[in-house]
Structure formats: structure tokens, C-alpha cells
Amino acid sequence: MTSAFSISLSELELDALTELVNLGVSGAALSLREMVHEEVVLSVPKVAVVTREQAIATLGEQESKRLVAVQQDFAGDISGRALLIFPETKSMELVRAVVGGNLSLEDIAELEQEALAETGNVLLNGCLGTIANNLQRSLRISLPEVIYGDGAEFFAAIPSRESGYSVLFIHINFAVRNRDIRGYIAMLLDIPSQLALKDLIGAFIERTTGQVYVPSSNVG
Amino acid sequence: MSANADLAEDAILDAVNGGLIVLDQDARILRWNAWMAFASGHPVASVLGKPLTGVFPDLDLRRLTTAVRAALASGASTVISRTLNPAPLPLRTRSGRTLLHDITVSPVGERSGAACLIFVTDVTMATRREKYLRDQQNARYDAIVENAPDVILSIDSGGLIQMANSAAVSQFGYAMGDLIGKSSSLLFDTAGDWSSMLQAVINDAISFRSCELIAVRKDGSLSYVEASASRWNIGSQGFATVILRDVNERRAVDAALRCSEALARNAAIALADLNQTLEQRVDERTAQLMKAEEALRQSQKMEAIGQLTGGIAHDFNNLLQGITGALHVIQKRISGGRIGDIDRFAAGALESANRAASLTHRLLAFSRQQPIDPRPVNVNQLIASIEELLRRTIGETLQMTVMSADDLWLVRCDANQLENAILNLAINARDAMPDGGTLLFETANAVLDTGQARSREVKQGEYVRLVVTDTGTGMPPEIQARIFEPFFTTKPIGKGTGLGLSMIYGFVRQSEGSVRVDSKTGKGTSIEICLPRYRGDLEVHAEEVAGRERRAGSDEVVLVVEDEPMVRVLVVEVLKDLGYYALEAETGTAAIRILRSSQRIDLLVTDLGLPDIGGRLVAEAGIATRQNLNVLFMTGYAEKAAGSAFLDGGMEMITKPFSMDELAARIREMIERN
């Protein structure tokens, strides 16, 4: 079943990936700090590669149905879609955290789309860019778009890519102005991109450790 | 790239209604369109080849620089909106005002790192329009919300406060900035109630009205609020607007009211308790009082009985003294052979004995157990016969008047008792008039209607009315109410037994009549006796018999049944004196044996109270075999025989003690009638 297909990462590979994500997220935190002129703390408690169904199930179990996401597509050696996902109920909070000040609810509501887009944009660019830089691969990353829906809608197959997708599922905590908001970064990757990612991770490990890295298997 | 193409490209770039900057891989300006030149005030010639920091040396361009670096290094596209970045570049509109703008930074070319495009969009008009609309809306909104005395909060579906009015700030004590974004459940002591209410409002769109909650202020103090909430939406997001009304004052008033109500209630309960206790105490006291009264009555009775028996004993002693004294003298005269004036002493003894008999009559009348001997009586004649006695009794200081009605009806009663009653009333009247006055006796016929009869507790019909009126001291109501009670007397000890009026009452009621008192203090007393009319003739001979003594024939046989030997001997002696033949029986059984024999018996004289069989049964046994047998009962105590119903035809009764003459007269009468 193609939809259940996903790359299998070894513990070392997963550690390397987590490290990459952490690098990306801390870059994003710096960018956000520039933006909001406040201390911004981003942390990544968990990274996992799951099937699309698992990702949908995880979101369905842990979050309310209504979700909001900032979505950016990327293309290059690896292609796919990156999403920053929050429960819809937290989006105002996120915007208020980023914007600060005593803005009225109406003002916040008005700013919400743009602020969400820009915040998500900074975070996703940070992650994707850091990964791309460290993997020494170039990507083209689109402008952000804010979408509402549930996990199933977010992870619907990208029509132009027929093959199965996996989801690199990153739990993320976002703390600014005494507000702590929990969310997810999800990267939908098609099979070639997953294989490329695995190779790239291997290369990253070799560069980082100075040793030849032989992955146990390509696909699990 | 040809010059034409270059020109065409520049012309296109210059025609775009927005700012376009193209940076090369070293982030130096490669293109700068006309819009940018105008808005920034920097002509294209002055900026080409410079980095952005060279064009805007005083600006903090870190955000833009990062975006450019990301685009060149990783092919990332970036949005820099006016929302989060007010005036990223110092741009002016044609009229010289600040130009509001959004910026996007994107990589250019297939391979990243070659160049990047900065695109600037003018959003001044749109922003101004939005601001105008919002300000207009806010003005109306603020007028309501900010001036509202109630706390108004807008809360998102996550329970976070998104809007608070100034009343919220003063009510809860938090700064506005602290309130916004705060979890609303932290504002409530009753957080559970609050959360479920909020969930119902936001998820199920149920509006709440007047739900009371306890809020917590920043300083930890509690505040009672009445919450109402309703849902509204921004886009797909649900919000609740909650209005919290301060009800502390109202609660305090309510509490005070409840407190006073509770006090009133407790007071009412206490009062009810008190009442109950009081009732109980009254009951107890009443019971005690009744007990005390009963004890008092009992002791009064005992005292009265003491007085009475003392008086009676005294009287009896005197009488006995007279009798024994006379008998002693008689005995001595007989033994001495001097029998000349023995009659005088015998008469004295008899008189004493008669007075003793009268005394016992009175006692029995009081106990209402005296066998009455009713006969037709003319009240006028009776009064006339004792008038002289009455006058002597009341003395000379009082006037006595008798007003007798003509054609007065006869009554049927015991004449002796009626005499006694009249005498008693006369004596009472005399005592009530120590300083003189008038005593009036009136007689009249009276027909009592239903009402008059009922007030006298008698049957309606014809009565003879006797009224005895004095002009004496009279009686207050409380004494009037008691005058018929046995032993009740207002006289000093020794002057009266208190039996007079009660004896009258007993006699009159026994005769199916009535007695009433009408008296006022200082105005005298009037006592009315009503006795039922007797429709019949006066039996004149009854009066005559007593005095005469006639010797009868010698063959009539009389059976005497009496267990007391002395009485039996006396009766037999009387019979022998009368010339009758007497048979004696000591018991009822013996009497019945004789009655069932063929022995001639003209009259049965029997005691009612025999030790074996009662006199009444003996009489019945006799009548069973001898239908025309006449019976004379003798009795000294005959409660059951007191009414005339006891006596059938041919039966009569004589009450002990009786005189020998009286007995002789009755026996003779009965035998002769036969």
C-alpha cells in the first residue's frame, strides 16, 4: 500500500534529522526574535517519520478538529509541502504573542491571516532553509498560505505526485511573551524525496562525524 | 540579452504599480524600478550596485537582510508584512505621506543563489479604508462596551480572553495587558461551572442568562457575579462574549434579607414553641387547679359532713335524752306504782321520737332517696294550714303576705315535704332580712310553653306556681349558682346545715317540677317552685284517718313479714289492737310458704329489705296465687322504691319511722277498701 509506505530511519539517522530540525528551528527563532523584538524560544521535543494516516490520526487524537496551518511548497532535490499546524483556537494566541501590545480582538482578527502567514513563513523557512543548507542542496520554497481544515485535508495527496507520501512529523513548542503554544511542523515527502532525504542524512552524518556512513537499508 | 530586450524589461519593470528590486548573488542592487525611485526618493542611478544598507544606512534592515539571505542561500520565499513590520522601508506616497507596504522576497531563477526579487506592495489605501471603517465601528462599540458598568469579556474557544473592557480592569484588578490572553478560568473560583458554561456557549451555541458565579480578583478576594454569555464568530472561529454583573451588593441585601427572614422564622418557631409550652403549662396548671379544686371541694364536703353529722348527733342526743329521760321516769313511776301522770312523760318521749323521725326524713330528702308519698295537695290549703307556724317562725319584725290564686289547680306531691320546703324558704327569707322587710307568698296557675318549660327543664304543660319573695339582701350571681348544692350555706357555722335548698331541689325534681331563683344583691330574692298540675279529686279522708282510731272486725288475717323482731312485734301488736288476726314470718321464704298455703290472708305487710328474698319478690309470689292480695311495703331506705312506678295496683308503701296510729290507719284503710 503506497500510502502506508515510509522510509525507515535508524536511530542514528533520526538523531541526525532531529539535530538538523533543531538547527533549523533555532535559526527560525532568531528570525522571529528579529521580527517581534522579544525573546522567542522554540524547542523540538519529538521528531518522527510516520505515514500520512498516522499523521492524520495523531492530529485527530491530540487536537481539536479545527486546525489552522501555514503551508509552503518546496521543490528541488527533495520536494513536498511543509506545514506549521496549530489548533485553530490557538491561532489568535499565536498572533497576539507575536504582535504583542493591547490590540483589540477585531485588530487581531484582521491581522491574523497576515501575521500567521509571516510567522509560519519565518519558522518554515528556518527549518527548510537550514535543512537545505546543511544538506548542501538547493530548493525553491514558495510563499506561505494560510489554510483551515483538519489533518485529512492538510495531508491530502498533492495531485501532481502520484506516489506515496510520508510525513516528517515535528512536535514544536513555541514560547514568546510568557505564552506557550504547542504546535507541529509537518513535511509531506514523496518517495523520491524520502530516499533523497535518507541519502542526504547519511551524507550529513559522514560530514559531521568524518566517517563513512552506510545506511542499514533504504526502505523499511 | 539585447538592448531592446533590456529596454523592454526595464520598461515593464517601471510600468509595474509596485516596487521592484532585484538583488544579485552578493545582494547588490541590480534592478530598481521607477516606482521604487519615486517612493524612496532614491533615483535608480544612485542605488545600482549598492547593498540595501548602502541605500538606507539608518534603517534596521535585519529582517529584510535575513529574507534576502534565505532567498539567495536556500531559495526560500519570505513575506514581510506591515502587520508585523511597520514601515520596513522609508517610502512616501505622491502626496508625501507615509506609504504603507508589504514586502515579499523570492529567489529568482531555476537555481537558487543567483538572484532574488524584492517586491513592495502599496497597501496604504486599503489600510486607511480598513482603519476608517474600524474606527467608526470601534467608536460605536467603545461607547457601549467601555462605558458599560458590567464587565464585558470576549473569550475565544480556547478559553482565553481576547477582549476586556475597562470595567473588567477595575473589577478584577488586572492591567489590561495582563487580562488579554489570560485563561478566563483563572478569573473564577467556580472554574468548573465557568468552563462548562463556556463550552456550552461556544460549542453548542447555547446562550446563558443569569448564571451566578464567584469571581476571583487579582488580590485573591472573591466577588459574586451574574454571568450571561452568547456566541459569535470571526470567520470560522467561535467566540463568547460574556457579561459579568457585580451582584455583591444585591447578595448582601439578599443575605441581610435572608438573615432577617431567618431571624423572623426562628422567632416564629420560638413563639410557636413558647405557645406550645404555654398551652402545656396552662393545661398542667388547669389540671393542678382542678385537682386543688377537687381537693378543696372534698375537704369542704368533709367539713360540711362534719358539721352536719355534728349537728345531727347533737340533735339526736337531745332527742334521745328526751326519750330516755321520759322512759326512765315512766319506768320508775310504774315500778313505784305511781302511774297517774305517766301519759305526760310518754307524750314527751313520743314527741322527741317524732322529731327524730322528722330529722331522718330531712336527711333522706337531701339524699333524694326518701320514698316519696305523693298525694293530691291543694297548695293554698297547705299554706293556710301552716300560716300561723310561718308567722311565728319569721317573727314580728317582718310583714308576711299571702296572695293565693282562686281556683288553684291541685298538685300531686308529698305534702310533708312541700311544707318543709315552704318553711325552709321562709327561714331563709327571714335570715336575709335582719333589718325587717316583707315576705310574700304567691300562688298561681301557670301554663308553661315549650320555651318556658325548657328553661325550667320540665315538660311543657300545666303547673301550679308558688313564688316566695323577700325584700332582703339578695345574692350575687356566684352564690345563686351554688345555692342548690348540698351543704352550700352562707350562714355561720351551726346556724344551718346547707341542706335546705338542696332538699327542696331534690323534692321538686322528684315531683317532676322545677325550682328557680331570681335575686339581685340588695334587691331581695324570689324563689319560684312549679309543680305539675294533678287532674283528679282531693282525697280528703287521708287527712282524717290519722287522728281517729276505730276498732275493726275480728276475722281479717294479716301476714307480717319482718326480719327485725322488735318491729315485727310492734306491728303484730298494732294489728291485734285493731282486732285483726296476725300471722308472722321472719324471712321471705317462710312468708312464701304461708302465701302458697290455703290460709286466708287479707293483707300482706312486708319489709322491702329482707335478708333472703326481697319484699317485692314475696309480694309477687303472693299475687301469683292470690290475685286480689293487697300489699303494704314498709321501708326505711328505698332508693329503688322511691318512684310510684314501683307500686302496682293494690300496693302501697309506708316509710319508717312511722307512728303506730299511722300504720293502723293505713292497714285499716287497705283492708276496708278491699
Portion 100-139 of A in contact with B at CB < 8 A: 102, 104-111, 114-115, 117-119, 121-122, 125, 128-130, 132-133, 138-139
- Indicate if B27 and B65 belong to the same structural domain: yes
Q: What is the pLDDT of residue B124?
A: 87
Chain B residues whose CB is inside 8 A of the A107 CB are 134
Decide which of B357, B389, B416 is a domain's last residue: B357
Burial B416-451 (b: 16+ CB within 10 A, else e): bbbbbbbebbbbbbbbbbeeebebbbbbbebebeee
A58 CB near a chain B CB, below 8 Å?
no
In a domain, B540, yes or no: no
Nearest to A179 by CA among A58, A38, A69: A38
Same domain as B304, residue B181: no
pLDDT of residue B314: 65
Does B547 reside within a domain?
no
Same domain, B399 and B517: yes
- Which of B75, B84, B85 minimises the CB distance to A141? B75
Instruction: Give the span between the Cα atoms of B225 and B160, in whole angstroms.
Output: 19
Residue B81's pLDDT is what?
86
Per the CB < 8 Å rule, is A129 touching B158? no
Least CB–CB distance from B158: residue in A90, A111, A119: A90
Q: Is the pLDDT of residue B264 over 80?
A: yes
Give chain B's contact residues with A (Cβ, < 8 Å).
62-63, 66, 70, 73-81, 83-85, 102, 104, 106-107, 110-113, 130, 134, 137-138, 154, 156-158, 160, 162-163, 176-177, 180-181, 234-237, 239
pLDDT band at residue B468 using 50, 70 and 90 as cut-offs = very high
Residue B481 shares a structural domain with residue B506: yes
Q: Give the closest of A91, A121, A138 to B113, CB-based.
A: A138
State the pLDDT confidence band at B19, using cuts at 50, 70 and 90.
Answer: very high
Q: Tell me the CA distances in angstroms from B492 to B312, B319, B495, B609, one per residue in order.
A: 16, 24, 6, 39
Q: Is residue B240 part of a domain?
A: yes
Name the domain count of chain B: 5
Instruction: List, for residues B366-407, the tens digit of each pLDDT value.
Output: 555 555 677 888 999 889 888 877 787 777 778 889 999 888
Contact between B433 and B452 under an 8 Å Cβ cutoff? The reply is no
Q: Which three cell numbers stand for residue A164?
A: 506515496
In this prediction, residue B105 carries a pLDDT of 94
* Per-residue pLDDT at A50: 85
Does residue B368 lie in a domain region? no
Size of interface A-B (CB pairs under 8 A): 128
- Assign B441 a pLDDT band (cuts: 50, 70, 90): very high
Nearest C-alpha of chain A: how many angstroms from B139?
A: 13
B181 and B258 within one domain: no
Determine, for residues A35 and B237 on separate chains, whether the beta-carbon distance falls below 8 Å: no
Assign B443 a pLDDT band (cuts: 50, 70, 90): very high
- C-alpha distances (whole Å) from B223 to each of B171, B189, B217, B245, B495 are 9, 9, 7, 10, 91
Is residue B457 in some structural domain?
Answer: yes
Report chain A residues whose CB lies below 8 A from the CB of B138. Answer: 104, 106
Give the best residue of A32, A106, A124 to mutate against chain B (max B CB count within 10 A). Answer: A106
When comparing pLDDT for B359 and B220, which is higher? B220
pLDDT at B306: 63
Residues B78-90 have a mean pLDDT of 84
CA trace torsion B329, B333, B339, B340 (10° rounding):
-70
Cα–Cα distance for residue pair B663/B229, rounded to 1 Å = 118
Q: List, for residues B478-511, the tens digit of each pLDDT value.
A: 887 777 766 566 655 444 445 577 778 878 888 8
Q: Is A121 close to B239, i.e. CB distance below 8 A? A: no
- Can you name the residues that pair with B439 across neighbouring β-strands? B400, B470
Interface test with B, best of A20, A118, A180 (most B CBs within 10 A): A118
ipTM above 0.90, yes or no: no
Does A143 contact B79 at a Cβ distance shorter than 8 Å?
A: yes
Put simply, the chain A residues between 64 and 103 with a CB less than 8 A from any chain B CB are 64, 66, 72, 76, 87-93, 96-99, 102
Q: Which residues of B touch A104 (CB under 8 A)?
A: 138, 163
Supply the pLDDT for residue A220: 37
pLDDT at A4: 43
Q: Are residues B400 and B518 in the same domain?
A: yes
Q: Provide the pLDDT for residue B369.
A: 53
Query: What digits encode the pLDDT tens for the residues A99-120?
Result: 776 666 777 777 788 888 988 9
> How far does chain A reach from its first CA to its final CA, in angstroms?
13
**For the ranges A153-167, B311-325, B506-520, B527-541, the one whose mean pLDDT is highest:** B506-520
Q: Among B246, B272, B304, where does a domain finish?
A: B246
Model confidence pLDDT, tens digit, residues B122-171: 988 888 888 888 788 778 877 888 888 889 988 888 888 888 888 899 88
Identify whether B550 is part of a domain: no
In percent, the amount of chain A with pLDDT more than 90 equals: 6
pLDDT for B638? 52
Alpha carbon B377 to its chain centroid, in Å, reads 56
Q: In chain B, what percentage of residues exceed pLDDT 90?
A: 15
CA-wise closest residue to B121 among B39, B28, B11, B31:
B39
CATH number at residue B486: 3.30.565.10
The answer to whether residues B270 and B236 belong to one domain is no
Which among A7, A1, A3 has a CA at the least distance from the CA of A200? A7
Q: Of A35, A76, A148, which has the smallest distance from its Cβ to B75's Cβ?
A: A76
Confidence category of residue B541, pLDDT binned at 50, 70, 90: very low
Could you tell me the three cell numbers for B48? 545600482
Contacts of A109 in chain B (CB under 8 A): 234-235, 237
Q: Which CATH number covers residue B601?
A: 3.40.50.2300
Across the interface, whether the CB atoms of B74 and A129 are under 8 A apart is answered yes
Q: What is the pLDDT of residues A2-41, one digit of tens each?
A: 344 556 778 888 888 888 888 888 888 887 887 777 788 8
- Check B84 against A36: CB less than 8 A apart: yes
What separation in angstroms does the CA of B626 have from each of B621, B664, B670?
A: 9, 23, 16
Q: Which of B534, B549, B579 is the last residue of a domain?
A: B534
B463 and B327 in one domain? Answer: no
Q: Do B430 and B384 lie in a common domain?
A: yes
Residue A12, chain B, CB below 8 Å: the answer is: no
Q: Are residues B378 and B343 in the same domain?
A: no
CATH number at residue B235: 3.30.450.20
Residue B16 lies in a domain: yes
Q: What is the pLDDT of residues A59-102, one digit of tens each?
A: 888 766 678 899 999 888 788 889 999 888 777 777 877 777 66
Q: Which of B63, B81, B235 is opposite residue A114, by nearest beta carbon?
A: B81
B362 inside domain? no
Same-domain status, B111 and B133: no
Q: Given pLDDT bands bounded at 50, 70 and 90, which one contains residue B421? A: confident
> Residue B500 belongs to what domain range?
374-534
For residue A160, the model assigns a pLDDT of 46
Q: Which of A212-216, B91-95, B338-342, B352-356 has the highest mean pLDDT?
A: B91-95
pLDDT for the residue B605: 92
Most B CBs within 10 A among A73, A74, A77, A143, hence the mutation to make, goes to: A143
Mean pLDDT of chain B: 81
Both B116 and B132 in one domain: the answer is no
